[in-house]
Amino acid sequence: MRLRVFPACILLTSAAACVSAADAFPSRPLRLIVPFPPGGGTDIMARMVGQRLNDAFGVQVVVDNRGGAAGIIGTDLAAKATPDGHTLMIGSVSTICINASLHKKLPFDTEKDLAPISLVALTPSMLVVGNTLAAKSVKELIALARAKPGQLHYASPGSGSSAHLGGELFRQAAGIDIQHVPYKGTGPAVTDLVSGQVAMFITNMPSVLPMVKANRVRALAVTSLQRSSLMPELPTVAESGIPGFEVIVWYGVFVPSGTSRTIIVRLNQEIRKMSGMQDVKDRLALQGAEVMSSTPEELAKRIRDDLLKWGKIVRASGARVD
């Protein structure tokens, strides 16, 4: 085998060019892709990240909403963008991990085509039941379900949603027989929960917290591993009889694979500074979310773990979107 030997001047020139390019970043406005229409949770996260990067780098950050196909269109656009750090995307557990299991074929490879930068926030869900249900704790709910196999129903805003899969995870982890009832949105699901047509609902906190505070439904637990700062008196499912149970929506920032490591580190440093800003914490709290940052490696590990976790749940549930 012949080894190719390059002159030292060429190697040094190439290395200097790489450093120079990284030092010049960003050289133009940044594009931050949101794979959903304006107004949702992902969009809110994106605008906070965009403002942070604008303040840090002094360049305009254009939030580009590209909704469609449950986030697949915008995610594919980001995955295929030029990997120079000027195109970023806000992804979530749904767009990055759950879609990979729900769809037989995606136009991108979740792990190969996107490079993680940092987590931004976590949104725990809440396990709620109707007031007429004879269960005031997770343990009592499980006991009731075991006493009435196949007779209790849990709601979701649609097959394959995080609420559906969260309910399926609860069914499996608790070893109970409960039936899934999909609705066309969260509103109708909550309405039937209030009226007693369904027994339970695992959904994001902002959508049901007003009903809990108005005593129209009963909250039994939050689905994060730690208690939520929004309702610290409410136990977690994990501490209520199902160790390790976790259903959260996380949001993170990504760039196309092939982006310079130097640029990834710079972006990570600036985004992680958000986690210490009180105004960011306050704004996220209004959305039922909590600030969370990470290294690129920590986010990559979470993705690997969630691909395995939700892949197993999706297969068990039989959910499929094609």
Contact predicate 198/128, CB 8 Å? no
Residues 49, 197, single domain; the answer is no
- Look at residue 104 in the predicted model and tell me its pLDDT: 83
Position 15 scores a pLDDT of: 45
Q: Is residue 11 part of a domain?
A: no
Examine the domain organization and report whether 113 and 254 are in the same domain.
Answer: yes
Residue 47 lies in a domain: yes
What CATH number corresponds to the domain at position 313? 3.40.190.150
pLDDT of the residue at 17: 46
Q: CB–CB of 217/130 below 8 Å?
A: yes
Of 240, 261, 286, the position where a domain reaches its end is 240
In a domain, 133, yes or no: no
Instruction: Give this prediction's pTM.
Output: 0.85
Which of 269, 175, 154 shows the shortest CA–CA distance to 220? 154
pLDDT at 9: 46
- Side-chain half-sphere of 111: how many Cα atoms within 13 Å? 10
Q: What is the pLDDT of residue 11?
A: 46
Which one of 216, 240, 264 terminates a domain?
240
Q: Does 300 map to a domain?
A: yes
Pairwise CA distance, residues 311 & 104, whole Å: 12
Residue 211 lies in a domain: yes
CATH no. for residue 174? 3.40.190.10
Strands (E) across 70-174 are located at 87-92, 114-130, 153-156
For residue 171, what pLDDT is reported?
95
pLDDT at site 23: 67
Same domain? For 112 and 153 the reply is no
At residue 20, the pLDDT reads 52
* CB-count exposure of residue 120 (10 Å: 0-12, 13-18, 19+): buried
* Mean pLDDT in consecutive groups of 10 residues from the start of the chain, 322 residues: 44 48 83 92 91 95 94 96 97 93 90 96 93 95 97 92 92 95 90 94 86 93 91 94 93 97 97 91 85 96 95 85 64
On whether both 186 and 212 belong to a single domain, the answer is yes
Number of H helices, E strands in the chain: 12, 10
Give me the domain span that covers residue 229: 146-240
Say how many domains are in the chain. 2
Contact of 293 with 275, CB cutoff 8 Å: yes
Structure tokens at 13: 């020139």
Query: Are 187 and 44 in a shared domain?
Result: no
- pLDDT at position 297 is 98
